Structure 1
Amino acid sequence: MINDFHFSHEFLSCSALNISVISDAILDSWLNFGCLIAPVDKLKEYKEWIEYQEPKLIKKWSNAFSYNLIESMSGAYKNVSELENLEGCFNYICDNNIPTLIINEDERTNLDVQCGSHLRERTEVINVNNFNESVHFSNSKNLKNSGILAQSDIDTVWRERFYSLANRTKKILIIDRYFFKNLQEDIGCRKTSIEKFIDLLTLTGKKFSIDIYSVGDIKDGDLYNQIINYINLTLSKRPNYASTVSHFQVNSCRDELFRERAHDRFLQFDNFTIQLGLGMAVFRSFPLSSCTFSFHRTETDPIFNDAYSKMWKNCLWRYSC
């Protein structure tokens, strides 16, 4: 869902970016579906080269560098102007594990590369004027409101839809009316959805804060005791828990609150929200049923924001570890 991409700081001087429709297409894709891979020690130079653009676009690009996803480049940085040909471009982005490289007209001319997009296995080099031909950004956009088919493999679904989000995330917030009910059914019978979820998160090699809201009855009730015992005696003892979870919290709210505010189920990864028809049930140890799926920046979703605000203020109980 999140596509890693790269351009050199000199890219920002190109005249094509002064055309609003081109700049807006790149900025919108970056905001909603992309993560710029760039060396941290070069970001100052990137921002300085923004000044080559028209005044009306300088603010948009400056905001993007302040707000959009940026990840540090792990390998050696090169200006595209230093590369000799298209083969050099592909070698460069392959060495840095970057799927998409965007080049401007001057860079294209120096490389003696034809206009358009150039795809090789899982990497692509895109001319700025042909940005809408990007295969990887198109794939991300196509998944935005694409449901999950019945009998899909959950590991494949995770790799295609969740992994890239999780890999850029520190905090996960889950609102799922039936999570506790399903958990209660699975405890002692099969691997639970939260265990499978944590196992998949482990693939990123990172640690996460996980916060879950569901219908869990009153404090010290039977369901409360069963959930807390499971967390303390089973979940927290699983091999991947300590290496993957930095903080874990569960919260119980009234069923009426879910009916009024959160009939849909949500998984929020930092600033991105997935609305998922089956919620955490997609990670249960059963064959997948068909499931609606939509993905967007959190701030554009008033329903999620309203539900979270009301639930945070009206919990019956909370438990963290």
Structure 2
Amino acid sequence: MFDEEALSFVMQRLDTAPDFIDYLVARQAALMARKPLILCEGEEALLATYLARTLEGRLLNSTEHEMQGTADLLHIQWGVAAEFFGSERYMQKLRADSDSYAWDRQIESFIRIGNPRYGTYEAVPPGSVELALRVMASESRFQRRILVDSFNDMMMGARSTPEQSRTRVLWARQWPERAYVFACMPCHPNWSRQEYRERRKNFLMAYVHGTPSRVPEAKTIVGIAVDHPVRGYRESSEDLIVLEAEPLSESDLAELRVKLDTLGIHRRQSPLNYGQAYEYGEVKDSTTVGGSRQQRRAAERRERKEGKA
């Protein structure tokens, strides 16, 4: 049971559904275990212990690190909370997470604006919009940080090429069952806004439907397209697409590959770039993601430095 103050404290620090649910599951398992009996001086201290031990790859009620085996009693003192939540490592995580809230705002924007039609522009079926938003909302705070960082990296690169479209396909080895496609596309001066939206939608759909050729494990693919950051108008818009991909046979994959080669997208010779994302700074607990070449090289430099230490 949570009292109001403890629940507020926990939800402020675990502010996504997967993060909160993971804690509840671990909390229940630890408190219901026969050994060790947990004596905790507050929910704040229990949460701090959970986060610290998760970072170390340990269970909440693990005592093997401190003792030869499982202890009969695990006493978690109040000071654990102040020590953990006031640590530089945790402050570093909070600073790194700050940009991730753009993901939350984007979800809220899609919900608030709904799915309006743009002239004769074909609206996405409501069920697809709901599915896409559910997938987006299922990401943890760390995963949202990775996604926003990748999107921002794409948009930053697009500023140097105002006449070119940009795309980014992102997934992680830890969660290959879903992938994201980000795209931005410039509007040609001769295009109407309606024509631009239709072209951008088709551009995004082509990349989304072609993603299984690069990420065959992906079962759900979400595509988001936005206006190019360099443009001569103030209006902005977004496209949202979701694909529930079916496993492809060898013949289906070969047929898809021919279509993609014709369109000139998802080129087979394009290398897959990987990088390391660290939730609490540069520690071994990390997520490997498909990212930019700069991110991959930075990760390699960090690994070389760690090897010399």
Q: TM-score range by the shorter chain?
A: 0.3 to 0.5
Question: TM-score under structure 1 normalisation?
Answer: 0.33
Greater length-normalized contact order (CA 8 Å, ≥ 6 residues apart): 1
